[in-house]
A and B are shown apart, each in its own frame.
Chain A
Amino acid sequence: MLRLPTFELHKPTTVAAALEAAAASGPATRFVAGGTDLLPNLKHEMIEADHLVSLAGIESLRGIRLDGDDLVIGPMTSLTDVASSELVQERAPALAQAAGVVAGPQHRNQGTLGGNVMLDTRCQWINQSYFWRSALGFCLKKDGTECHVIEGGKRCVAAVSNDSIAPLYTVGAKLVFQSLATPEMIAAGAPEGVQTRPVPVDALFKADGAYNKKVGLQELLTEIRIPALPAGHRGSYQKLRLRGSIDFPQLGIAARLDLDEAGVIVHADVVAIVVAARPVRVKKAPDQLVGQTPGTPGFEAALAELCDLATRSVKALPNIPGDTEWRQRMVPVLIEDAIRACV
């Protein structure tokens, strides 16, 4: 078995204590939720961390509740609990579906929604042991200077692979991060202590697979907030993988359709993951689908057109293991399936 590197483990019971532990331990510190992504990455020496701050003892980070109109999910809620929650199934069905198809049952019992949101990017050239990567001569994401996906590539294109992110995009989720004000921030006029920063989920990512998030490692995700959606809200998540369990997505498509009382589409959104370092929104989706009524020839024509157009903006790269051509070919198929699952 590969050995875990040695690290100091902190076990705070409050968010404030977790933030303090992280701040005191310096930059080589990671928060650990379920550990199903972080621990293998540590074993592969993809991440170097002298300190781990466990979130397992912080009760306030767990649970699913309503706060006014918002559905609030604690990031330490297990994926199994998210998938089986009636509240989530009713208010954000695509999220419940996505949580239910992450990895295998044991992973979903151990893994958390927050952990999945913060999952590292994946690539066939990086998720390997240190020995393997050394034989390769390393790569852009860690320890190396070359990209093996795109010859001469200067920016890492490791793939965003978190199933939950695509549905969170479509429901317009807000992620709440907390951190301790740094001396620099305080000098610039910020108050001391815990800072809270809501980030719309579609503002979280950047197109850099080396680290694809716009929040710092010292910022802790404390809430996932999903606004109330209209009564006619429908959602679906479609995942491409070879096996019926365990595998990371080879492609993921989330779709959202809101229908009015007459059954006309008033809002449409389609988001793809695992094509690049950040999720890709199919911008043509509302143009094609809004105003259509499922079951009519007009809707069928619009859907066919959308699937066709989407293949121009959703481009699979040979970043993750598997057949890139097939993944690309499955883009319109999964979009069609996702839309049809909504109507």
Chain B
Amino acid sequence: MAARDQHGPGAPWPEEGAPELAATNRSSAEGFRAVGQSMRKLEGLDKATGAAVYADDIKLPGMLHAKTLRSPHCHARIVRIDASKALALSGVHAVITGADLPTKYGVIPWTQDEHALALDKVRFIGDEVAAVAAIDEDTANAALKLIEVEYELLGAWLDPAESRQNQLTDERPAIHEGHKHGNISKRVELEFGDVEAAFEAADVVLENDFYFHSSTHAAIEPHCAVARESADGLLTLWSSTQITHYVQREVSRVLGVPQSRLRVIQPNLGGAFGGKSDPFSLEFVVCKLAQLTGRPVKMLWTREEVFYAHRGRHAMNMRYKSGVTKDGKLTGVSADILIDGGSYSSFGLVTTYYSGQLLTGPYDFPAYRFDSTRVFTNKPPCGPKRGHGSVQPRFAFEVQLDELSEAIGMDPIDLRRVNDVGEHTETVNGQRVTSNGFAACLDAVEEQSAWKERRGKLPAGHGLGVAGSMYISGTNYPIYPNDMPQAGIQLKVDRSGLVTAFTGGNDIGQGSSSVVRTVICEELGVDSADVRVVAADTDLCPVDLGAYSSRVTFMVGNATIDACRNLRKLICRGVAEEWGIDPSRVFLGRGEVFDTENRGNPKRNITTRRAFEIAEARCDTLGSTGSYNTPKLGGDYRGGSIGASPAYSFTAHVVEVLVDERTGMITVPNVWVAHDCGRALNPMLVAGQMEGSAYMGIVEALFEDHKVNRFGLHAGPSLLDYPLATSVDCPDLHALIVESIDPEGPYGAKEAGEGPLHPALPALSNAIFDAVGIRLRKLPFTPGKVLAALDEKRAREAASAEEAPSC
């Protein structure tokens, strides 16, 4: 049975005498040896020295290179494809089209609407139409130009508001013809409590429109996949994915290959951020081409192709209405959200729920309603990007909170304190909150930013802003319904002293394999050099659902503790037999094994390696498994389990900003990020995630814009036209770790990879208000928008000065 919360958050073998370590850190004080230590990432040196092997580094004998022909039209029917000239080109081994892979797929089983290659229709510029395998990339590219495709052009849907109106005509058929709701991808309406009464009870009610633009992940490694079929028909796929297990399921289904004959391996990954959490066309295509040609086949996407694959942050038009009493208590919140989904469903069903369901903390409000509609448009498909579905509503709501605090004359941090939902409680939509360190997060950013001394008192053009947020540590909703563990792990130990872990967890640079190592070091008392982690190889590793929804530390961490304790029982039993004592007397940790009731006996004080030998001799070959599954969670209503998490993380940011009123340009000198991660298993990695998140949020607000132009073309699918902040543009990031010690997390740990992004954008907007008195409710914050808002403000001030009585 999967062990969820039977371990408790404490150290495995707390020992007397530990308090002398209190000065170094809290974890040491509580008897931890490895937990709380800043250990270098497992693959850190390999990556830093260039030795790490990524998917594109894989070169196999006889390997072919594949390329994709993409649609130059944003909405069209495919009338005819003729690949005969391409096939005739010397060096071309195979050309495939939609008919070769006709089965639909999609990461969410209820909304499968994608084809590896378009079957009858193309839905955005860049949609995949055909693929070629050839002896080298140049030959494959040349062959693409020889494929003739005849299209019948259809009217394009580029405006999400038009898609929502859903007035389908013959000239402009629905993007997914036959879809039950036309161009409406998903609509969720939920109401908790009486919202209208809540607004009646409020002293101040504000209602405003907000806009969040689309942005993309821009992982430095472009997607790449390599497939090989062995002579006996075993298929191996190496792919830059963050969801090995779902890729295995979908490729198996579409190709008709049993899962037992398809091995999926994730090599080192150069970033993902949610952009590698769908099954992608290239994975199906290289497998099919490998089968057809009998040769290994590789496909590496160009940066431009990565922009078309997208699955980035959804653009959202949001209207928020919130009420507050004059002493700062929120009475109710209402939200209407239009979500531009692009051309396919991807995770859109979940996005639509998340856009409403994840707003109900860290603040308590007794009434809440939301109406979220995701629509299809003829643009690159949107999906999950770091902070999936909840970064946009969080932006709108946290700016509105700032406006409410201004309206009632309350400090914005105090307003947030007044409404703190607290720990061990339930939100208005029925989500169970356990540990909660939000108040400590607010305290930390308030103090470190010198908020009380500086906010509202800085010179013109210089300001501070605050925002808060809450995020999930995984959800109890597996993407396909099943009762099996969400995380499984296997350990192998032998006389060499080495402990090897086999985990399905995808290390995408966030450090999940390093978390496994820390847990093993803690539980078995071995040195970090004596731990190997084999990850994300479906032939070798037990199933794990993948790196998404910030589930890995919580779920894989708990599974690892489970496996370690099973293994420890075995080893202690062997040693106890050898010494003729009860197993409960055997201490195993910190590299030593001894009899707790006879510590002075040198024969009963041995190394861990010696203990492994004794146990291997007495208990046979050593190994264990462990797993994790969530408890039943969530509100008792349709969709109530989506967004229900075994634990929530909490974050507060204070952003410092400088606004140049002549140019409209914004500089962010400092961001203070306080994040409640439960317990920091590896503080260096936690701080890294916090810094990376804050950076990503600020950059999204200032520079990035995934724009589709009037032709339906991505406005600039390159890292020149889509600017990411360079080191000279990056704020100083101050990571302030808050530890609330969650009762169910591994040693009390929760997520740290996505939550810390959320407050960056609203805190920036709120800081701009403090600096120059303008409210920016529409992202991104370009200099032009700043200047326009300043003009508006001056005009307003001039008008009110004229109206003012002269005396």
A residues in contact (CB < 8 Å) with B: 1-3, 6, 104, 124, 127-129, 131-132, 134-136, 242-248, 321, 323, 325-326, 329-330, 333
Is B461 at the interface (CB under 8 A from chain A)? Answer: no
B715 — which chain A residues lie within 8 A by C-beta?
Answer: 124, 321
| Contact A134:B663 (CB < 8 A) given known A242-B723, A326-B784 | no
| Contact A135:B141 (CB < 8 A) given known A1-B300, A243-B725 | no
Find the B residue at minimum CB distance from A325: B784
A127-B720, A246-B726 known, 16 other contacts, Cβ within 8 Å: A3-B137, A3-B138, A3-B141, A6-B138, A104-B726, A124-B721, A129-B304, A129-B717, A136-B711, A242-B665, A242-B703, A243-B703, A244-B729, A246-B720, A321-B715, A323-B784
A129 — which chain B residues lie within 8 A by C-beta?
Answer: 302, 304, 717
Is B713 at the interface (CB under 8 A from chain A)? Answer: yes
Q: Which residue of B72, B662, B703 is within 8 Å of A333 (Cβ)?
A: B662
| Contact A323:B729 (CB < 8 A) given known A124-B715, A243-B703 | no
Do B304 and A131 touch across chains, with their CB atoms under 8 A apart? Answer: yes
Do B787 and A326 touch across chains, with their CB atoms under 8 A apart? Answer: yes
Do B721 and A321 touch across chains, with their CB atoms under 8 A apart? Answer: yes
Tell me the smallest distance from the CB of B724 to a CB of chain A, in Å: 8
Nearest 5 CB-CB pairs, A to B? A135-B72, A326-B784, A244-B728, A323-B784, A245-B726
B665 — which chain A residues lie within 8 A by C-beta?
Answer: 242
| Contact A323:B783 (CB < 8 A) given known A104-B726, A131-B70, A134-B72 | yes
Is B688 at the interface (CB under 8 A from chain A)? Answer: no
| Contact A131:B662 (CB < 8 A) given known A1-B302, A244-B728, A326-B784 | no
Number of A-B contacts (CB under 8 A): 77
Q: Of residues 687 to 706 in B, which have CB atoms within 8 Å of A's CB atoms?
A: 702-703
B729 — which chain A residues lie within 8 A by C-beta?
Answer: 243-245
B640 — which chain A residues lie within 8 A by C-beta?
Answer: none
Do B726 and A330 touch across chains, with their CB atoms under 8 A apart? Answer: no
Main DSSP-derived SS at the B contact region: loop
Docked pose: A1 CA to B300 CA in angstroms: 8
Q: Of residues 284 to 316 in B, which have CB atoms within 8 Å of A's CB atoms?
A: 300, 302-304
Most B CB atoms within 10 A — which of A6, A244, A325? A244
Is B497 at the interface (CB under 8 A from chain A)? Answer: no
B contact residues, range: 35 or more
A128 — which chain B residues lie within 8 A by C-beta?
Answer: 716-718
Q: Which residue of A135, A243, A247, A329 is within 8 Å of B711 (Cβ)?
A: A135
| Contact A321:B716 (CB < 8 A) given known A1-B302, A135-B711, A330-B663 | yes
Find the A residue at minimum CB distance from B712: A135
Docked pose: A321 CA to B303 CA in angstroms: 18
Most A CB atoms within 10 A — which of B702, B725, B784? B784
Find the B residue at minimum CB distance from A103: B720
Tell me the smallest distance from the CB of B758 to a CB of chain A, in Å: 24
Find the A residue at minimum CB distance from B722: A321
Do B664 and A326 touch across chains, with their CB atoms under 8 A apart? Answer: yes
Most B CB atoms within 10 A — which of A129, A132, A325, A333? A132
Q: Which residue of A2, A104, A135 is within 8 Å of B73 (Cβ)?
A: A135
B782 — which chain A residues lie within 8 A by C-beta?
Answer: 323, 326
Do B137 and A132 touch across chains, with their CB atoms under 8 A apart? Answer: no
Main DSSP-derived SS at the A contact region: loop
Tell me the smallest distance from the CB of B90 to a CB of chain A, in Å: 15
Docked pose: A127 CA to B714 CA in angstroms: 13
Is B655 at the interface (CB under 8 A from chain A)? Answer: no
Do B73 and A132 touch across chains, with their CB atoms under 8 A apart? Answer: no
Q: Which residue of A3, A131, A323 is within 8 Å of B72 (Cβ)?
A: A131
Docked pose: A246 CA to B722 CA in angstroms: 12
Docked pose: A128 CA to B303 CA in angstroms: 12
Docked pose: A295 CA to B302 CA in angstroms: 55
Find the A residue at minimum CB distance from B707: A321
Is B657 at the interface (CB under 8 A from chain A)? Answer: no
Q: Which residue of B72, B662, B723 is within 8 Å of A247 (Cβ)?
A: B723
Do B783 and A124 touch across chains, with their CB atoms under 8 A apart? Answer: no
Find the A residue at minimum CB distance from B136: A3
B703 — which chain A residues lie within 8 A by C-beta?
Answer: 242-243
Docked pose: A247 CA to B726 CA in angstroms: 10
Most A CB atoms within 10 A — which of B711, B714, B783? B783
Q: Which residue of A2, A243, A330 is within 8 Å of B723 (Cβ)?
A: A243
Is B125 at the interface (CB under 8 A from chain A)? Answer: yes
A2 — which chain B residues lie within 8 A by C-beta?
Answer: 302, 304
A-B contact pairs, 5 of them (CB 8 A): A1-B303, A2-B302, A127-B720, A128-B717, A247-B720
Docked pose: A3 CA to B303 CA in angstroms: 12
Docked pose: A246 CA to B663 CA in angstroms: 20
Docked pose: A127 CA to B722 CA in angstroms: 13
A136 — which chain B residues lie within 8 A by C-beta?
Answer: 711, 713
Docked pose: A124 CA to B702 CA in angstroms: 20
A127 — which chain B residues lie within 8 A by C-beta?
Answer: 720-721
B717 — which chain A residues lie within 8 A by C-beta?
Answer: 128-129, 132
B723 — which chain A residues lie within 8 A by C-beta?
Answer: 242-243, 246-247
Q: Of residues 779 to 802 in B, which have CB atoms within 8 Å of A's CB atoms?
A: 782-784, 787
Q: Of residues 446 to 496 in B, which have CB atoms within 8 Å of A's CB atoms?
A: none
Most B CB atoms within 10 A — which of A104, A129, A247, A326? A326
Q: Of residues 379 to 432 in B, which have CB atoms within 8 Å of A's CB atoms?
A: none
B663 — which chain A residues lie within 8 A by C-beta?
Answer: 330, 333
A104 — which chain B residues lie within 8 A by C-beta?
Answer: 726
Do B728 and A245 touch across chains, with their CB atoms under 8 A apart? Answer: yes
Docked pose: A135 CA to B156 CA in angstroms: 14
Q: Of residues 132 to 156 in B, which have CB atoms within 8 Å of A's CB atoms?
A: 137-138, 141
Docked pose: A2 CA to B663 CA in angstroms: 36
Docked pose: A134 CA to B726 CA in angstroms: 31
A134 — which chain B residues lie within 8 A by C-beta?
Answer: 72
Docked pose: A248 CA to B721 CA in angstroms: 10
Docked pose: A77 CA to B665 CA in angstroms: 33
- Please, what's the 1-or-0 string for B651-680, where 1 marks a CB less than 8 Å from any CB in chain A? 000000000001111000000000000000
Do A243 and B726 touch across chains, with their CB atoms under 8 A apart? Answer: yes
Find the B residue at minimum CB distance from A1: B302
B303 — which chain A residues lie within 8 A by C-beta?
Answer: 1
Find the A residue at minimum CB distance from B300: A1
Docked pose: A260 CA to B711 CA in angstroms: 56
Docked pose: A127 CA to B663 CA in angstroms: 27
Docked pose: A132 CA to B126 CA in angstroms: 9
B714 — which chain A residues lie within 8 A by C-beta?
Answer: 132
Find the A residue at minimum CB distance from B714: A132
Docked pose: A248 CA to B302 CA in angstroms: 22
Tell me the smallest distance from the CB of B522 to a CB of chain A, in Å: 42
B141 — which chain A residues lie within 8 A by C-beta?
Answer: 3
Docked pose: A329 CA to B660 CA in angstroms: 14
B138 — which chain A residues lie within 8 A by C-beta?
Answer: 3, 6
Docked pose: A104 CA to B720 CA in angstroms: 12
